[in-house]
Structure 1
Amino acid sequence: MVRAIIIAALATASTVFASSATTCSLTQKCPSDTPCCSQYGECGVGAYCLGGCDPRMSFGLDSCVAAPVCESKTYNFNNLDRVMSNTKYLGDSSKTDWVADGNPQLYNNNLLLTMAPDSVGTLLASSTYMWYGNVKATFKTSRGQGVVTAFILLSDVKDEIDYEFVGADLETAQTNYYFQGIPQYTHGANISLSDTFNNYHTYEIDWTPDQITWKVDSQEGRTLKRADTWNASTNQWMYPQTPARVQLSLWPGGLASNGQGTIDWAGGLVDWNAADIKNNGYYYATFQSVTVDCFNATSAPGTNDETSYTYNSLAGTNDTVVDGKNSTIIKSLIGTGTDPDAGAASGSSSSSSSSATATVETVPGRSGGNTGSDNHDDSSSSSTASSASTATISSDTSASTSTGSSNGQFSQGGGSSSSSSSSSKSGADKLGATQEKVLKGSVFAVIIAVVAMMAL
């Protein structure tokens, strides 16, 4: 009987490999059998329902699993014990600090994000979410045309604050921000600094309800005030304001299958015969440490008093975030926010759900497109770098204090429904249309594990 079930699972798996996940957007939500819209704009269960799951595009607000609240902590990379693959992570942030997609490596007490030929690089996302606060990362970027290193804050509704580094230009840190992934290419600004591949720099984002400050080596490089982001047409602040994961990534902007705008922005196609490939077998970015300081507001927004963040409205603004006690954990990679126990070995009540969902996508893959919201494919993107404002960081840096201040009372308020119906799509939304499933083997393993449990 077990052998028959496994043979059937093999046949089922082959159909999974050949199929494409249903895409999702603000106007096309996920169906009930694959209710969770991933960061990349495709529907599934399991890991699709964890970090990056967009509740606005999912079947229901409760389809996504609740997000673990902020934890103030310094992350050093003496080992990879607190780094877990996204094929194993089930939402328990007490068991890991980082969720990995790709091939992170350890070298001289540093973390290497690697990108080998025929891969789409490496992405690490924090298991907990910041709702305002300060985050800094000390690292060396990768190098080479088409090779992109990124350090960003990205929320599940695609609010974003970022640093991006194009390997063909090692003296520029590109900064940007987005509200709900809506593409606005006038948001970019550059910071000039010394060789980012050979030199460690500490990149910092200080984020309050009123202001964002980007710093390099403690020197202020750029400041954005919320007061300057008001959009009279939509009657709302176009300002990042919702709980976000810290994401570290190395990815091929110059992948041939990417849009031409992305390839041009990244400096051209990736050279897969470059010196780093010949000498090491991969491109790499070197991360020394990351430090997160939560905002710790005494009242919302910006609190982390309970255990998890959820949303109570499709608006996806800071006044719709709930700092509550919902569970962040699913029992298996076929669980969802509404059925977290699906696939549990001892749970007979979830057996029907397990059977119904054993053939759907459980771990989102990546096609090599941008791991943030800006895919640089807009017709105006080619002029972004030249028109962006630039600040220069000197070599004799000294510590400075943040100019941001807030009483934590900024609340987005009304008028946000117009954004929810916007036809604009972020790069993360567009990724779903051409996504390649690079983790099919992991999906297959999950299917076999599930049918094996069902056969017991």
Structure 2
Amino acid sequence: MLRSLVVAALLGASSVAAVKCTRSSHCPEDSPCCSTYGECGVGAYCLGGCDPTMSFSLDSCVPAPVCEDRKMKMNSLDSIVDIGKYLGDSSKADWVAQGEPVVFQNNVLLTMPKDSVGTLLSSTVYMWYGNVKARFKTSRGAGVITAFILFSDVKDEIDYEFVGTELGDAQTNYYFQGITNYQNSENITLSDTFANFHDYEIRWTPDKIEWWVDGKLGRTLQKSDTWNATSKNFDFPQTPSRVQLSLWPGGKEGNAEGTVAWAGGPIDWDAPDIQKSGYYFATFSDVEIQCYNAKSGPGTNSGTSYWYKDAAGTNDTIVDGDKRHTIASLMATGEDMDKGKKEDKKKDSKDDKDSKDSKDKDKGDDDDDEPATIPGGSSGAPSNDHGDDSSSGSGSDSSNTPSGNPDGDSDDTEPADTTNCQTNSFNQDCASSDSSKSSSSSDDGKGSNAGTRNGASALAIIIAGGALFWL
């Protein structure tokens, strides 16, 4: 069965309640795309994270951009686009943001203001095997989770996760199609992850996974050791995946008891970092993707996009081809990629006005029937929530939270302006219009606000209400 996500209400969500989706209960035709969070919609639901095995059909999800070698210096917001403005063109951005990244002293901070669900960055390109390396400092504190993972649309997963009370450990883990097995986890010991930058690397091939820290091998998993005699399958991550960086509240009130225990206890929303900076934060410096570049499948990237030809969702069902991977609007789907396309801009102003008036009237008549367009996650991360892991996690007491200062640059962090943020879901409208120009230096100590710097509109705030969970 699929693993559960953190269960929490989406406060402030719109009245549009997205339909749930599972492998046994697919999305309906009018909201055909099943998001990472197990809900149905159109638009962004059909892009990164769209699960073809739970959607209306395999073609409901938009094909995914193939792997590209990328060196991404995390010193500005220029390559980060808000999820409400991303239409699948991976050439225009490196990352899709949900939450509130900011720039501080030539690094990108993933932030988690009080009572929020944190921040998630997802790469716009996918990896079908290869190496990915990230240099960063984690956050800290009971209930605070920093993560660097690979996550596929059918929920194959390779993890680094960091519990904020255990700053001397990097937890490594893997999952096949979301199947929970907490015996898969192993720790790598290292120096204080909040005070120090470390280089974390995942080396992934069709035969094995290696986790490296600071140039030293910390763990190896052989595919041959993952054979499942019951299902007659290797429970080994094997499908194209996005790189995801996240900061999320494992200790948030309302989360499963096991999740809170694994996360080190309930989160303190009045901790020193919140009082001083306005948010918990993790500091990211660099991310590099190196593709596997196989000459024949699995692991190729010779085309422009990946898609699934069978609901089994294994590496032999992946097609590396040349299908389009962009949509015209947030009303489009994989089967109607031009739906909502803007009319010819060459029309005269009268025609444009008449068209707008007509659309506004139609919108007023049909508001109640419009599908959700922007998936929201209440957990702050799509990775496994450890909700059934009450005994095998860290379970550290919150009193173990380190009290020492971070290194010099973190100590002077000041909060971004989050006055207008709705920080209880991954659909936030925090930035004013003049915040669209991000600064790459930010050496004045005030983080530059990403928010909806690309102008997320009301359309980008349509999300599902209620609790999110996998059945």
Structure 2 CA distance for aligned equivalents of residues 164 and 440 of structure 1: 25
Structure 2 CA distance for aligned equivalents of residues 308 and 287 of structure 1: 28
How far apart are residue 92 of structure 1 and its match? 0.3
Aligned residue for 2:382?
371
Which whole-Å deviations, capped at 9, do the CAs of 1:429-454 have from their partners, x for residues lacking one?
A: xxxxxxx7552865734599xxxxxx
The higher-RCO structure (CA 8 Å, 6+ apart) is 2
* Amino acid corresponding to residue 327 of structure 1 in structure 2: R
Contact 2:261–2:393 (CA under 8 A) maintained in structure 1: no
Inter-CA distance 438–385: structure 2 relative to 1 (3 Å threshold)? closer
Contact 1:364–1:437 (CA under 8 A) maintained in structure 2: no
Contact 2:261–2:390 (CA under 8 A) maintained in structure 1: no
Aligned residue for 1:408?
none
How far apart are residue 195 of structure 1 and its match? 0.2
Inter-CA distance 447–177: structure 2 relative to 1 (3 Å threshold)? closer
Aligned residue for 1:138?
135
Of 458, 462, 465, which aligns to 1:444?
458
Aligned residue for 1:396?
none
Structure 1 CA distance for aligned equivalents of residues 457 and 212 of structure 2: 40
Contact 1:185–1:381 (CA under 8 A) maintained in structure 2: no
* Amino acid corresponding to residue 217 of structure 2 in structure 1: E
Aligned residue for 1:176?
173
Of 92, 113, 120, which aligns to 1:95?
92
Structure 2 CA distance for aligned equivalents of residues 325 and 222 of structure 1: 36
Inter-CA distance 38–447: structure 2 relative to 1 (3 Å threshold)? closer
Aligned residue for 1:237?
234
Inter-CA distance 446–369: structure 2 relative to 1 (3 Å threshold)? closer
Structure 2 CA distance for aligned equivalents of residues 440 and 220 of structure 1: 39
Aligned residue for 1:334?
331
Structure 1 CA distance for aligned equivalents of residues 38 and 342 of structure 2: 30
Aligned residue for 1:452?
none
Aligned residue for 2:297?
300
List alignment gaps of at least 5 residues for structure 2: 1-11, 345-354, 396-423, 430-455, 463-471
How far apart are residue 258 of structure 1 and its match? 1.1
Give me the TM-score of the superposition, normalised by structure 2: 0.77
Structure 1 CA distance for aligned equivalents of residues 60 and 184 of structure 2: 32
How far apart are residue 53 of structure 1 and its match? 0.3
Higher helix share: 1
Aligned residue for 2:407?
none
Contact 2:127–2:241 (CA under 8 A) maintained in structure 1: yes
Aligned residue for 1:425?
none
May I ask how many residue pairs the two structures share in their alignment? 380
Contact 2:304–2:320 (CA under 8 A) maintained in structure 1: yes
* Amino acid corresponding to residue 444 of structure 1 in structure 2: A
* Amino acid corresponding to residue 203 of structure 1 in structure 2: Y
Aligned residue for 2:103?
106
Matched, 1:383 2:383: no
1:241-280 superposed matches below 5 A:
241-280=238-277
List alignment gaps of at least 5 residues for structure 1: 1-14, 387-435, 449-456
Aligned residue for 2:194?
197
* Amino acid corresponding to residue 26 of structure 1 in structure 2: R
Contact 1:117–1:282 (CA under 8 A) maintained in structure 2: yes
Give aligned-pair identity as a percent: 58
How far apart are residue 383 of structure 1 and its match? 2.1
* Amino acid corresponding to residue 50 of structure 1 in structure 2: L
- SS of equivalent residue, structure 1 residue 183: coil
Which whole-Å deviations, capped at 9, do the CAs of 1:114-148 have from their partners, x for residues lacking one?
A: 00013110000000000000001000000010000
Structure 1 CA distance for aligned equivalents of residues 289 and 113 of structure 2: 29
Which whole-Å deviations, capped at 9, do the CAs of 1:38-80 have from their partners, x for residues lacking one?
A: 0011000000000000000000000000000001111002211
Structure 2 CA distance for aligned equivalents of residues 295 and 356 of structure 1: 47
* Root mean square deviation, CA, Å: 2.2
* Amino acid corresponding to residue 37 of structure 2 in structure 1: Y
Structure 1 CA distance for aligned equivalents of residues 256 and 285 of structure 2: 32
Structure 2 CA distance for aligned equivalents of residues 174 and 130 of structure 1: 22
Contact 1:151–1:163 (CA under 8 A) maintained in structure 2: yes
Structure 2 CA distance for aligned equivalents of residues 176 and 243 of structure 1: 17
Of 16, 23, 26, which aligns to 2:23?
26
Aligned residue for 2:466?
none
Contact 1:16–1:360 (CA under 8 A) maintained in structure 2: no
Structure 1 CA distance for aligned equivalents of residues 318 and 110 of structure 2: 32
Runs of 4+ in 1 over 3 A off after TM superposition: 353-358, 440-443, 445-448
Structure 1 CA distance for aligned equivalents of residues 13 and 107 of structure 2: 37
